[in-house]
Structures are given as C-alpha cells and as structure tokens.
Amino acid sequence: MTHIPVPEGMPGIRGPMMFRPETALPLNMLAEVLLQGPSTLSKGERELIGTYVSNLNQCKYCATMHGAVASHHLGNAGVVKQVWGDPEAAPISAKLKTLLRIAGKVQEGGRRVTDEDVAAAKAEGATDIEIHDTVLIAAAFCMFNRYVDGLATWAPDDQSIYDQIGAQRAEQGYLTPMTPVSPPLS
Amino acid sequence: MPHIELSNDLPGIRGLAAYRPETGRSLYELAEALLCSESTLSRAERELIGAYVSSRNECAFCTGSHAAASRQLFGDDASVVDSVLRDVTEAPISAKLKALLVIAGKVQRDGKSVLEADVAEARRFGATDREIHDTVLIAAAFSMFNRYVDGLATRAPADPEAYREMGQMMAERGYARRLSQIINA
C-alpha cells in the first residue's frame, strides 16, 4: 500500500503528483524539456535512456511506463526489451550505446563517469549537449524511481494500462492532465 | 575539469544551469518548492535533509553548499548540521527529524528499502503525510542533483569560505531568485 494517501486509480508517480501539485509542476516541466523538447536525440532514444535507468533501478512502474512511451515513439516494442537485457547487443546506434554506458554509470553514482566514457561518446559523434542531457535524464530517473518506490506507489500488472498512458505521453508530452485508470478487480 | 565545455566558470549546478537554462529553470523551481516554500518542516531542516543525502552520495559541492545553507538557517544551533553529518544517531535533533532522516537515507540507497515500519516510526513522532512525502522527494531530488553535478565532473571549490558565502545567499534568496541571477549574469 502507498505510504501516503493518494487518489484511487492513479498508478505510479501520478499518485504523489496529485497529492502535491506544487512539486508536480517542475517535475513535469523537467520531463517535458528533457524527453519532449527540441534535441538532436530522438524522443525514442531519450525514452530508451529513461527506461534503461529505471530498469537498472528495478522500478517496475517507470521502466514499464517509459518502455511503453519508447515503444510508441520507435514503433517497436522489441528494442526496449533488448536494451533492458544488453544494450551492447541491441539494434541501436553506436552513439546511443556509448550514451547508455554513461547513463548506466550515472545510475551507480555520478563520480563513476570517467573521461574515457565521455571520450568514447564523443568519438561516436555525441555532442556536449547530448552528453549533458544523457547525464541529466539518467539522474532525473534516479529521482523519479526513488520518488515512485520510496512512497510504495501502485505499479499495475496489466500491460494495457502502461500502453494506454505510454501512448498518451508519447503523443501529448508531460504537461497534459492525468486521468485515472481502473484499478484491478480484486 | 568538467566533461563538457560549459563556457562559464561557475561551480557545481550553477555552471550547468547557466549552460542549459531550459533544464536549469525546472531544477531551480523544484528546489524552491521543496526547500523554500511554506512547510511545517523548517527551511533549516529541509536543507539538512539535502546535505545529509548529498554527504551519503559523497557529492562535495552539494554537501558543502547545502550544509552551509542549513548552518546559516539554524543560526545559533548551526553545530547541529555537523553532528548530523558526523553521526545522525547521536545528533541532538528531534525524534521526528531523526526518523525522517532514516527515511531519506533509505531513499538515497534505493526507494524500495523504505518500509511501512520506517513510515510508522516517523508518524509516531508526529510526522504528517506531507512531511513524509516531502522528505522522500527531497532525498530523491538530491539523488538526482548529486549525480548531475558529479556525472559531468563540475568544479567544486576547495575553500570552505566559498561555501559559507553560497550558503548565505541560498538562505537569503532561495532558488528562484538565484536562478535569474545566474542566467542573466
């Protein structure tokens, strides 16, 4: 059960965001700029970084949700599971692989990122701002994951709930209202 | 040296906010809402939660600056900050704040390690839903700020006086006003 009272039918981060709209606003603005704003990384690539880090943090809600958003952008659900399993073997660009390596280091701890990790990304054509955004996306998901799991929020088992919200976020971004979903029948 | 060319010599997160104001704005507004806006937790206590998590993440810039802000806000009781950073179990703070710091420490490690019993303990000493929510989100947010600042290898001043000055500014102006200063510099 969620550690604080949240509205019925609001899975994951939606519960605490409804509980405290003052902090939800900058959180959603951050997600919007990082995942939907203008960037030379595609929206699908940025969501892959988010779901990859969430999976490393074993945050079921965020990993599944942002996996669904990435799948929607990429038109391909298979690549998400491949990235979860082994990004080096996934059908993604060499540049994205180096960025995921940096994201994985950030998940462990910021100081784990080495000059060599950054040089490898630059050698594959990553720009400074792409490296900046990769680090901040990875860091932001380390926050979102802890927020969602630290309050023991509801992570539905039903994949269709994630597909529904994932499609909404892929198409509308992160600033449109959150609508409740039906809780599982018990 | 930072991993990317920031084109400014501001330390820590300030250099990153000046480099990329679009994300800097949300980050500073989050800090303002969590650490400065109206709350039943004092500003000194909230800065202390941030400094405590940063210290556990060994982030020198965030620990130095938020500990300094907390000392400034605690005023005559400033030594409490160093007691908490040294050993939270021995620190002369309320049982409620101690229970909240236990929750923050667990969030720093992994969200799922926060147990019903930890939350019940905080409530037993009077913590409200909102205080529990904010503690979890402050700890989670510093888990982000610390990774952001260190993941890009930003500059952390060595001189304690630099942090004392930063802490004083943070205590006096909060974060929203600080941001416009950084961006417009």
How many residue contacts between A and B have a Cβ separation below 8 Å? 154
Q: What is the pLDDT of residues B108-153, one digit of tens each?
A: 999 999 999 999 999 999 999 999 999 999 999 999 999 999 999 9
Query: Quick one: what percent of chain A has pLDDT higher than 70?
Result: 97
B117: Cβ contacts below 8 Å, ≥ 6 apart: none
Q: What is the pLDDT of residues A76-110, one digit of tens each?
A: 989 999 999 999 999 999 999 999 999 999 999 99
Q: What is the pLDDT of residues A133-142, one digit of tens each?
A: 999 999 999 9
If contacts are CB pairs under 8 Å, which of residues 93-122 in chain B contact chain A? 103, 106-108, 110-112, 114, 116, 119
Q: Do B133 and A146 touch (CB under 8 A)?
A: no
Q: Do A25 and B33 touch (CB under 8 A)?
A: yes
CB-nearest to B140 from A110, A129, A143 is: A143
Q: What is the pLDDT of residues A14-46, one digit of tens each?
A: 999 999 999 999 999 999 999 999 999 999 999
A49: Cβ contacts below 8 Å, ≥ 6 apart: A99, A100, A103, A134, A137, A138, A141
Q: Do B106 and A150 touch (CB under 8 A)?
A: yes
Can you give the pLDDT at residue B83? 98
Interchain CB contact of A29 with B (< 8 Å):
yes
Q: Which of A108, A48, A52, A130 is nearest to B151 (CA)?
A: A108
Interchain CB contact of B155 with A (< 8 Å):
no
Q: Which of B31, B85, B54 is nearest to B147 (CA)?
A: B54
Name the DSSP letter for residue A152. Answer: T
Q: What is the pLDDT of residues B64-110, one digit of tens each?
A: 999 999 999 999 999 999 999 999 999 999 999 999 999 999 999 99
Can you give the pLDDT at residue A178? 83
How close is the nearest chain B Cα to the Cα of A119, in Å? 9
Say yes or no to pLDDT of A183 above 60: no
C-alpha to C-alpha distances, B25 to A31, A32, B7, B16, B179, nearest whole angstrom? 12, 12, 18, 11, 7
pTM as predicted: 0.97
If contacts are CB pairs under 8 Å, which of residues 123-142 in chain B contact chain A? 129-130, 132-134, 136-137, 139-141
Q: Which of B140, B141, B144 is nearest to B111 (CA)?
A: B140
Q: Rounded CA gap, A29 and A37, in Å?
A: 10
CB-nearest to A128 from B4, B25, B140 is: B4
Q: Write down the ipTM of this complex.
A: 0.98
C-alpha to C-alpha distances, B34 to B5, B40, B46, B177, nearest whole angstrom? 30, 12, 8, 15
Q: Rounded CA gap, B54 and A45, in Å?
A: 29
